[in-house]
Amino acid sequence: MKAPDFDYCRPGTLAEALSLLAGADGEAQPLAGGQSLMPMMNFRVAAPEILVDLAGIPELRGIARQGDMLRIGAMTTYRELQDDPALQAVPLIAMALPHIAHDAVRNRGTIGGSLALADAAAEMPALMMTLNAVIELAGPDGPREVPATEFFLGYYETACEPDELLVAVRVPVAQPGEVFGFHELVQRHGDYAMAGVAIRATGVAPIAGLAVGFFGVSDRALRVPAFEEALTGTDGSEAAIAAALPKLDAIEFEGDTKISAETRRHYAGVALKRALKEMLA
């Protein structure tokens, strides 16, 4: 199949891009790396009338340390982020990046594109929620910020309005004593996760300041505060995990033609235990 007809625009500034979106009455779609959007258009899952290519906007690129935050421009590719020495300040993302898709996709796919698309099985939304990152948006009413924990609303749905653009994400850098874990279950390396977990804690003896992001389990990346609270203050043992697992009932696990919801829940528990083991090692 091939994409339906569409108009193509390549603005050179953020202001020009926002003007195009504002005048499109919701029928325009920003194009970042195109690694997800273009296949969706070819299968006619997405059919924008206007494609707004963001590749020519320098304001959307770059990685910069800003105090205790790392600011990542929306058009920064996975490869650029992976190769930047500044990423050493955010170990959880460094741990996860090699698991994201394949080299060809990481060379073209962008951080902002992944966050704006909000695929439930993608790693980046869960990472940003776990790290309490802040999403920067720009629109006709000016800039605004949304905590990552409030940004992802459902299947391919975010808090970004049709006339807004995701311009950057700010991620807190690791603090002394913080520890991290990451694990995903996939059929083959680079495939979408059948279930995945990202974990951060400010201490482990006992566990303190726990944040756990799940992906590939429901209609969006999510955290379960009741589960985090149940495991906080414990030693992370098998018994402690078993006692906390019922709190995952808050997740509406979803099945598909290959995996039942119950199997996905089991996979989430497996990924969780392995990520915790990595964090506590």
The structure tokens listed for 272 are 């969780």
Out of 112, 140, 172, a domain closes at: 172
Q: Where are the beta strands (DSSP E) in the chain?
A: 7-9, 28-31, 50-53, 63-66, 69-73, 134-139, 142-147, 152-154, 157-158, 165-172, 179-185, 195-201, 203-204, 207-208, 211-215, 222-223
In angstroms, the CA 136 to CA 156 distance is: 18
Whether 38 and 115 share a structural domain: no
- Are 148 and 211 in a shared domain? no
Q: Is 197 helix (H, G, I), strand (E, B) or coil?
A: strand
Residue 137 and residue 86 share a domain: yes
Are residues 112 and 42 part of one domain? no
Last residue of a domain, one of 172, 193, 213: 172
Nearest Cα neighbor of 182 from 126, 231, 227 is 126
What are the residues facing 22 on neighbouring strands?
none
Q: Do 99 and 139 fall within a single domain?
A: yes
Give backbone dihedrals phi and psi of 36, rounded to 5 degrees, phi first: -110, -45
Same domain, 118 and 154: yes
Q: Are residues 35 and 107 in the same domain?
A: no
How many domains is the chain built from?
3
For residues 157 and 145, is the Cβ–Cβ distance under 8 A? no
Containing domain of residue 76, as a range? 60-172
Tens of pLDDT along the chain (281 residues) come to 677 788 899 999 999 999 999 998 888 889 898 777 776 777 777 777 888 999 999 999 999 999 999 999 999 999 999 999 999 999 999 999 999 987 877 877 999 999 999 999 999 999 999 999 999 999 999 999 999 999 999 999 999 999 999 999 999 999 999 999 999 999 988 888 999 999 999 999 899 999 999 999 999 999 999 999 999 999 999 999 999 999 999 999 999 998 999 999 999 999 999 999 999 98
Residue 1 placed within a domain: no
Q: Which amino acid is at 105?
A: V
252 found inside a domain: yes
Say whether both 217 and 165 belong to one domain. no
Same domain, 144 and 237: no
Same domain, 72 and 147: yes
Amino acid found at 48: P
Place of tokens 């992001």: 213
Residue 274 in any domain: the answer is yes
- Asked if residue 80 and residue 111 are part of one domain, the reply reads yes
Tokens of 237: 């043992």
In a domain, 2, yes or no: no
Domain membership of residue 72 (yes or no) is yes
CB-count burial class (<10 Å; 0-12, 13-18, 19+) for 89 = middle
Q: Which of 172, 204, 229 is the last residue of a domain?
A: 172
**Does any domain span residue 142?**
yes
Output the pTM of the full model: 0.95
Residues 66 and 158 in one domain: yes
Q: Residue 33 in contact with residue 110, Cβ under 8 Å?
A: yes
Q: CATH no. for residue 22?
A: 3.30.43.10
